[in-house]
Amino acid sequence: MKVLLTGGRGMLGRTIERVLGDRFEILATDLPEADITDEAAIDRVIALAKPDAVIHCAAATAVDACEERVDFAFRLNARGSANVAAACHRHGVRLIAISTDYVFAGDAPRPYTEFDRPTGGATIYGQSKFAGEEQIRALCPNHCICRVSWLYGFGGPSFVHTMLKLADGTRPVLKVVADQVGNPTSAIAVAEHLALLLARPKLCGTFHLTCEGEASWADFAREIFRVAGRTQAVEGCTTDEFPRPAPRPKNSRLEKMGLRLAGLPPMPAWQEALKMFMEKEFGYGS
């Protein structure tokens, strides 16, 4: 099976190519050869490649920067997704698009399911990604939308890479936010489940691909240091102590109802996925 990636040089794209490259013919594209904001250009790329499926990873993902560059965020995340979706539909190509927990408001008392109605949340990033989802649904019926959150993968940048860099012995205590909760998610685990979706060519709809279990950012940091064998102390703090241009959701938890209903295997526990990633990326535990 031939699979074309948009955003192939990003963290998730690189991880998909590395994990699935021996099972699929992966065509990793990115700027400048594949500009999703140019509808004619991305149409040519898909027409010439003739893939069986497109995994659409290209996006503006710098959450704070999106608050300042509103048109840029919507040009990539909404208009760009519309261009990819329309091209896939014209050429009869299945589309698997990556989205985010930020499409939800982040204030629910429970994990969000695929059947909860998103609003785009309080950030430009979330609103632009939700607009992209809506464009995909309207323009390419043969699609899967896969939401991820708290993602880390080969080469970063990610929370895992940042925490290990900060734990350099110069800081007796690291203050890490403890009042936001989510599902730390390995891009390796996401790639493996994308392979399962690729193996079900008639399966369509929205799926949550986050690892099982939940944690705060402080919990996540402590587990990173435990796996790495570092004695770095972590002190939990509030979101208000670290104000950011874009408000962070208090609840980023995603339930994987879509996988269950489709009869697909569950995502791995986040602690197990983290341990596997840190062994592959940094050699810890090997």
Q: CA-CA distance, 107 to 91, in Å (whole number)?
A: 40
Convert the pLDDT of each residue in 106-126 to its tens digit: 999 999 999 999 999 999 999
Tens of pLDDT, residue by residue over 225-276, are 999 999 999 999 999 999 999 999 999 999 999 999 999 999 999 999 999 9
d(CA 150, CA 186): 8
Classified as helix, coil or strand, 179 is coil
Q: Please identify every residue annotated as catalytic.
A: 125
8 A C-beta contact, residue 132 and residue 78: yes
The domain spans of the chain are 2-155+184-213+253-268
Phi/psi of residue 264, each to 5°?
-95, 155
Residue 121 CA: distances (Å) to CA of 7, 11, 138, 217, 266: 24, 24, 21, 20, 27
Structure confidence at residue 285 as a pLDDT band (50, 70, 90): confident
Query: What pLDDT does residue 286 have?
Result: 65
The alpha-helical segments, DSSP class H, found in 153-238 are 159-166, 187-198, 217-228
Q: Where are the beta strands (DSSP E) in the chain?
A: 2-6, 25-28, 53-56, 94-100, 143-148, 151-152, 173-177, 181-182, 185-186, 205-208, 215-216, 233-237
Instruction: Give the whole-angstrom CA distance, residue 254 versus residue 242.
Output: 24
Fold of 2-155+184-213+253-268: Rossmann fold (3.40.50)
Question: Using an 8 Å Cβ cutoff, are 6 and 184 in contact?
Answer: no
